[in-house]
Amino acid sequence: MKDTVLKSLKQKRVVSGQSLASELGISRTAVWKYVNQLRREGYRISSSPRLGYTLDSVPDSLLAAEIEENLQTRIQGRKIISCREMQSTQDHAKKLAIQGGSEGTIVVAETQSAGRGRMGRSWASPPGGLYFSVILRPGITLAGAAGLPLVAAVALARAIQPYTAVAPGLKWPNDVLIQKRKAAGILVEMSAEMDRLDWVVIGIGVNVAAASVQLPPEIRRTSTSLAIESTRIVHRAQLLGDILYELEEALDMFQTQGFEPLRKQWKEKSHTLGKHVTVVGSRQSIEGKAVDIDGSGALVMECAGGIRQRVTSGDLFFKGGAHG
């Protein structure tokens, strides 16, 4: 009912308590209680004994009502779990997926106390960022899912681009860079049975409002945020809607046309190919020039003696030590 009150306030410039009560079939006291709940959530609502209630401003929040208003998708965001704080949106979404959570369910939090990235690393999650995970059930083979991190990266870069003065670049395998510094990252986890995917959870973290001083000291030199790079005010619910739209479009293309058209898009946006890099894996480090992305999303490197090696995982460092 609170969301219905909010919707009425957004649709009408001024609305009286009696009008709201009659429209919703509740008492004026109930209307007053819902209005006060909205005020506590950050909505600025003024009131006048003669005119009624006026919605003056909307908070930059990730409340379900604000997210729903910005959705342009068929599947992504069909169910929204929004919290002020949780340990990890990725862990919560994985639990839901294991329990049969529906495709398109998103888990979003204002902050995370134990956010994580690839290889178990912590992900700094200060207030004002965008941290969410989405459940997918693509019905493809485990081998066919290898390119999903790059598919998600293409979608994320496309969604972020209208907000920045400089087009984002992609760093293999899962980072979005602006001006050579990391602005967003992706974590893809999945489970399969008999080589058929049961579920995929894509976690995305975007540094939105963080100033340099709010970023952990160890990553300030290599990270940035949309607040630093943006040419416009960034409303996080709108940005989330844009990301989910681009992700759904990219996934549709992936399932109908395969990885190839998205591989081409990734290469066009690449900040990796053509550069001398070191990829540090769990068992070995490989040095060479990044020359291509193959049909499964693996990085192709040209090493000493012109030998080409295919790399499927690891941390990539640019020559000189830059690491996103």
**Residue stretches of the annotated binding site:** 112, 116-118, 182
DSSP 20-71: HHHHHTS-HHHHHHHHHHHHHTT-EEEEETTTEEEEEE--S---HHHHHHT-
At 15, list the tokens: 């609305």
Q: List, as residue ranges, the binding site for biotin.
A: 112, 116-118, 182
Q: Tokens at residue 178, please?
A: 């602006």
16 and 28 in contact (C-beta within 8 Å)? no
Long-range contacts of 306-312 (CB under 8 A, 24+ apart): 311/279, 311/281, 311/286, 312/146
Distance CA 188, CA 146 (A): 10
Please tell me the distance from the alpha carbon of residue 52 to that of residue 19, in angstroms, as a whole number.
9
Phi, psi for 105 (deg, rounded to 5): -65, 130
Report the distance separating Cα 307 and Cα 315, nearest Å: 20
Q: Secondary structure of the chain: what % helix, strand, coil (to 5)?
A: 35, 30, 35
Nearest-angstrom CA–CA distance, 125 and 19: 42
Whole-angstrom Cα distance, residue 108 to residue 125? Answer: 12
Enumerate helices (H) and strands (E) in the chain, giving the number of each: 9, 14
Alpha carbons 97 and 90: distance in angstroms, whole number: 10
Amino acid at 81: I
